[in-house]
């Protein structure tokens, strides 16, 4: 985790993101730094941007107007990219967060990383791997609350739907943990030590897969994920009253 002085530009593709997650997006960004520049791009004359209008003032975002000059295509992508390059060369931030599921931002993410700057992405699971892998960290929007909201919806359902829901428990909606990835990250982090700080393993996991997130597998954090694995043991490690868990092989 980075210090609070680490300034991040949050650039949202309003045509390709959801306004209902704005609070969660900022909370996710706050894990790595402070969202100093906040911009949302889109054609604000269209109905699809109405949901963003309700949150821009509440969360201090600047709306950037971009008209669609061609049917079925808008200029949001190019506008966001141009602004990002201007911000990059202004040296006013230490990193970027690009909120979109669009592969058009792959080149931008690569360019930012080439400058040695932090770049994270936030988008749906349908986001192309090229964009995901171009970021240092990529968080799936589904891990920020969408799945929770969807699970709460089916209160007024038919008896048949209730039977289907009962046959398909929530746990089955999560993918299986990639144990090869876990083992590889543990191996990279070990340095021939028996007990490894879990934060160090987490950093290795992100290097291998920028989209790795315990929430994807139904766990609140990495500690809970490792506690569920038979191969590993989580060891409590208190330093100045705080717990910095260690992980070792059984």
Say yes or no to pLDDT of 121 above 80: yes
Q: Name the range with the highest mean pLDDT among 111-120, 161-170, 173-182.
A: 111-120
Q: Residue 152: what are its φ and ψ, rounded to 5°?
A: -80, -20
CB atoms within 10 A of CB 203: 13
pLDDT > 90 fraction of the chain, expressed in percent and rounded = 72
CATH fourth-level superfamily of 7-147: 5'-nuclease (3.40.50.1010)
Domain ranges of the chain: 7-147, 179-249
Please enumerate, as own/partner, the contacts of 183-187 that have beta carbons within 8 Å and a separation of 24 or more. Answer: 183/231, 184/208, 186/232, 186/247, 186/249
Distance of alpha carbon 22 from alpha carbon 35, whole angstroms: 12
Say yes or no to pLDDT of 188 above 70: yes
pLDDT score at 126: 96
CB-based burial of residue 218 (10 Å sphere; 0-12 exposed, 13-18 middle, 19+ buried)?
middle
Is 0.85 surpassed by the pTM of this model? no
Pick the CATH number of 179-249 from 3.30.420.610, 3.40.50.720, 3.40.640.10, 3.20.20.20: 3.30.420.610
Worst-scoring range by mean pLDDT, 114-123, 166-175, 197-206, 226-235?
166-175
Supply the mean pLDDT for the chain. Answer: 86
Say yes or no to pLDDT of 124 above 70: yes
Say yes or no to pLDDT of 225 above 90: yes
């Amino acid at each position: 985790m980075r210090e609070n002085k680490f300034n991040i530009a949050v650039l949202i593709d309003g045509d390709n993101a959801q306004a209902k997650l704005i609070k969660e997006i900022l909370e996710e960004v706050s894990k790595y730094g402070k969202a100093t520049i906040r911009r949302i791009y889109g054609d604000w004359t269209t109905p699809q941007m109405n949901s963003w209008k309700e949150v821009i003032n509440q969360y201090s975002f600047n709306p950037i107007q971009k008209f669609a000059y061609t049917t079925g295509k808008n200029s949001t992508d190019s506008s966001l990219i141009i602004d990002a390059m201007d911000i990059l060369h202004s040296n006013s931030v230490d990193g970027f967060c690009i909120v979109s599921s669009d592969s058009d931002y792959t080149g931008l993410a690569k360019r930012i990383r080439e400058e040695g700057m932090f770049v994270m992405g936030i988008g749906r699971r349908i986001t192309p791997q090229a964009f995901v892998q171009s970021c240092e960290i990529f968080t799936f929007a589904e891990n920020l609350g969408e799945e929770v909201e969807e699970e709460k919806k089916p209160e007024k359902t038919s008896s048949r739907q209730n039977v289907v829901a009962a046959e398909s428990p929530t746990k089955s909606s999560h993918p299986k943990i990639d144990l090869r990835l876990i083992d590889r990250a543990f191996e990279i982090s070990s340095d021939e030590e028996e007990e490894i700080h879990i934060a160090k393993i987490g950093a290795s996991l992100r290097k291998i897969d920028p989209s790795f997130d315990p929430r994807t597998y139904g766990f609140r954090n990495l500690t809970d994920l490792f506690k569920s694995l038979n191969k590993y043991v989580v060891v409590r490690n208190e330093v100045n009253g705080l717990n910095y868990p260690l992980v070792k092989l059984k």
